[in-house]
């Protein structure tokens, strides 16, 4: 798409010119014409078009190029636009203002991910309640997190806390419940009520007992906060283990189901009542 000089420099830094050929189109009509002539590995929309127009562009391009990867950048967006982009299999979605670092990371993911179309499935969705299934892969989880961050209509502090807690619990579900098995999926319900937001995460694993997860900080007493580190090293696990402990500090309630393969995160919102 057409790009400002500063953004062109940004793209050249992320997509090295010696590896990637970058083509620019003046607008969505031009982008559709280019895509009709030849396939592209990735399409990034301009930043100054409404999300609904970019979603329509994606829909038209994918009729001819079903597996086209598109990252939507937009200056005007609604939760409905984001949900529609997920249904139309956008790779990702960023509305202004957005982090250049996060966008750069997503662009790199788009250039290396071999299989992605079925990574996220929208089971049902309204702006208040969205139910999805995500493949047990870290990159699919990162994509889902970005979509939900765009949908979340929350004050900045609550948005950060919910996003971080949700990320930790989702990664736990994918790693420990799904064993990073791309044939398995985690189910997620995100519900935005007037004075609260809830996230329910259900993984395909058998659940756990707190006494059995010695690799997690939550299983060790307060006087031994790093006891799990040695366990993780012995088992050859990645550094970490603070996910549950961190999530408990960021949300108001963290509730496990009976089998402990299902968790509910609850964050209460202190919003002024309308006059």
Reading the chain (275 residues) residue by residue, the pLDDT tens digits are 555 678 888 888 898 878 888 888 989 999 999 999 998 999 999 888 999 999 999 999 999 888 889 999 999 899 999 999 999 999 999 999 899 999 999 999 998 877 678 899 999 999 999 999 999 999 999 999 999 999 988 888 898 999 999 999 999 999 889 999 999 999 999 999 989 999 999 999 998 766 555 555 454 455 555 544 454 456 665 554 567 888 888 999 999 999 889 999 999 998 644 44
109-115 own/partner pairs: CB under 8 Å, 24+ apart: 109/139, 109/142, 109/143, 110/42, 110/69, 110/71, 111/15, 111/20, 111/41, 111/42, 113/139, 115/182
What pTM was estimated for this model as a whole? 0.84
Task: Name the one residue in this structure whose structure tokens are 């496990």.
Answer: 256
Q: CATH second-level architecture of 118-275? A: 2-Layer Sandwich (3.30)
Domain boundaries, the chain: 1-117, 118-275
CATH of 1-117, one of 3.90.700.10, 1.20.1290.10, 3.40.30.10, 3.40.50.2300: 3.40.50.2300
């Amino acid at each position: 798409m057409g790009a400002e000089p500063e953004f062109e420099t940004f793209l050249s830094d992320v997509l090295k010119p010696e590896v990637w050929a970058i083509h620019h189109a003046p607008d969505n009509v031009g982008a559709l014409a280019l895509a009709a002539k030849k396939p592209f590995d990735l399409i990034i929309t301009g930043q100054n078009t409404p999300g609904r127009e970019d979603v329509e562009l994606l829909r038209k391009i994918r009729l001819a190029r079903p597996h086209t990867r598109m990252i939507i950048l937009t200056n005007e967006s609604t939760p409905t636009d984001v949900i529609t982009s997920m249904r139309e299999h956008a790779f990702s979605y960023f509305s202004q203002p957005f982090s250049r670092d996060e966008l750069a990371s997503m662009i790199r993911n788009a250039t290396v991910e071999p299989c992605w179309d079925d990574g996220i499935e929208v089971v049902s969705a309204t702006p208040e309640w969205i139910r999805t299934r995500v493949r047990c892969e870290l990159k699919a989880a990162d994509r889902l997190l970005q979509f939900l961050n765009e949908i979340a209509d929350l004050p900045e502090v609550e948005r950060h806390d919910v996003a971080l807690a949700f990320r930790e619990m989702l990664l736990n579900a994918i790693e420990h419940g799904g064993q990073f098995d791309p044939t398995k999926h985690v189910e997620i319900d995100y519900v935005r009520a007037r004075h609260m937001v809830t996230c329910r995460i259900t993984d395909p694993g058998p659940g756990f007992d707190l006494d059995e997860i010695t690799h997690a900080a939550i299983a060790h007493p307060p006087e031994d906060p790093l006891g799990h580190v040695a366990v993780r090293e012995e088992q050859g696990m990645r550094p970490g283990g603070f996910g549950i402990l961190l999530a408990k500090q960021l949300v108001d309630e963290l509730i496990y189901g009976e089998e402990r393969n299902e968790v509910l995160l609850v964050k209460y919102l202190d919003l002024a009542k309308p006059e």
